[in-house]
Structure 1
């Protein structure tokens, strides 16, 4: 089964509110649709003879709200800007570092925040990283049109663009497009400029995509020519043989993000199996499995060492010279403001 089919199946089951894969009842993983890649938890399966049970989500805020409302799981996979919300809500506890194998290989830049690690312990296990940039139909869109992020407000592409239904990603785009490359120090004037730009971009949007498989459908079926995309959407299009380009070096830049595991309090499953699960993801061999299936990079230097330059080029994970807005933790109040404004913009206000 291809990654595309896995994502489609996961998304369909998600809409029913059911676990997308029921297996080992002693471990419940709350994760993004599409991350149930056997190569990632291979060591777990080898030891226990089965995969963990998965329940899926398509949006960080959706996942947080479900957990805050009482849903019980053993481990979740938020992106970095969400960790402070989990800590403030008392939903997570530190990892026992003595039980982790491979965490010492995580690149220090992914743990460079007291939100992730402090004198109380290690709160966050960064695992995967990727980028958000312009995916486009190379047969229909000239390269010069995607040399700038202003393609998303170009009247030529009215009804032909798609943006993620993710406040973090669309605000990263809007800040970049209006000249802001650091969202940890946003002024009211910068926020207002980005909001005005987003309102203009909204007029060109054919649809907001909720997961990468939905974005690929929008592009392969014809209406969407230009999308603000994660790596995995591009990987799926490449698998389909679709003529997709991935422009990370628009003059205003592109965005980067990273995600990882949090240890949920009062998880219903086995603590031993939880650590075996995350240790499987921290193996060097998880690096090739991750990039092959989803197109993301691994936070482990040992895992990344197993990848070729060709792997990195194809996935769009090489260094670039254009600006990069890193989606690291920002002010929670500012993030809530962005969420509220995004909902108004989508509603046409």
Structure 2
């Protein structure tokens, strides 16, 4: 989908050195393509010209493949020799994958554009010192909805409407990422998204099994498309995804439920067995360039941790409450911690039972 207007890239005019790209002799705009790297990314999560612009300044072609869930990403990388050079794991999966020995420690000397990142994002608990990842976006889960389809014109300001009500039966979709689904069910029941007691998990599972007949789909991070196409009226989705389709349909909106929600951060990382780690570092560094970053965020409409890129963005981005919810709203939201592979398996097993019920 075409979202936003493109800002003219300064890259070809300024040359590679201006954006901090220089590696292995591959720099400048006229270098013929001699290498390619494989980028494993979420859908609708890159600028219109980002990959082509990087090829112009580096001579390296980027081949992008799409995954739908962190579980899918993890399964692909853990098999070994998957062939990917740069991947986009979420915060808890950075911990999961690094503890499993699947990520390459980053060489910060090859990432001078780290200077553009807001210091608040540089030492997260899931990756202290940014040893394995750099921040790409941060995001919050909430409810996307079609305003004209809401009963009595009321805003769906609670997880109840997705988890515990037949009000929108056959017209709702939930995210199928097991951990997110179980944690937000616990949040609705009044618990933290972390350290969920086993009895609460059983309550969440029972609640969702009861709710399943009313759910049209457990979607693979394409809930915004289902909402836009009018397949559903209410959907669990990320703020940036709903911000994208709100530009196309003014009848759509987004809210973080009153119980609070889960904050995620998506990152750029390099698999341990990446075929081209040098070029992977250069690509990650390019993605943190201010101008290149601004073009990405203008397209994908997710909150950016890149302070230099944000400074270039229009007020319609910086002051959009869907992209940047208020401090009051965010105070009720939490990052999900990685609690070990056994816990991840518990979530996966619960979702399997829910979907097969």
Task: Tell me the TM-score range normalised by the shorter chain.
Answer: 0.7 to 0.9
CA distance in 2, matches of 1:218, 1:266: 36
Summarize deviations over 1:162-187 as a string: whole Å, max 9, x none.
0112113312321221112x323222
CA gap of 1:122–1:50, structure 2 versus 1, over 3 A, is: closer
> Aligned to 1:93, what secondary structure does the other structure show?
coil
2:317 equivalent among 300, 306, 311? 311
Counterpart of 2:233 in structure 1 is: 225
Structure 2's unaligned 5+ residue stretches are 5-32
Establish whether residue 82 from structure 1 lines up as the match of residue 93 from structure 2: yes
Looking at CA atoms only, which structure, 1 or 2, has the larger radius of gyration? 2
CA distance in 1, matches of 2:125, 2:236: 30
1:274 equivalent among 257, 270, 280? 280
Q: What aligned pairs does 1:155-166 form with structure 2 within 5 A after superposition? A: 155-166=166-177
> Aligned to 1:321, what secondary structure does the other structure show?
helix
Establish whether residue 106 from structure 1 lines up as the match of residue 106 from structure 2: no
> Aligned to 1:155, what secondary structure does the other structure show?
coil
Counterpart of 1:34 in structure 2 is: 44
2:268 equivalent among 261, 265, 270? 261
Counterpart of 2:248 in structure 1 is: 240
Task: Give the drift of 1:251.
Answer: 1.8
CA gap of 1:101–1:284, structure 2 versus 1, over 3 A, is: same
Computed over aligned residues only, the root mean square deviation of the Cα atoms, in angstroms, reads 2.6
1:336 equivalent among 342, 345, 349? 345
Task: Give the drift of 1:74.
Answer: 1.1
Q: What aligned pairs does 1:72-151 form with structure 2 within 5 A after superposition? A: 72-113=83-124, 115-117=126-128, 122-142=131-151, 143-151=153-161
The structure with the largest strand share of the pair is 1
CA gap of 1:85–1:254, structure 2 versus 1, over 3 A, is: closer
Summarize deviations over 1:1-54 as a string: whole Å, max 9, x none.
6269xxxxxxxxxxxxxxxxxx97431112112234245456623313564111
Structure 1's unaligned 5+ residue stretches are 5-22
- Length, aligned pairs only: 323
In the superposition, the TM-score normalised over structure 2's length comes to: 0.81
Contact 1:42 1:280 in 2 (8 A): no
CA gap of 1:183–1:253, structure 2 versus 1, over 3 A, is: closer
Counterpart of 2:334 in structure 1 is: 325
In the superposition, the TM-score normalised over structure 1's length comes to: 0.83
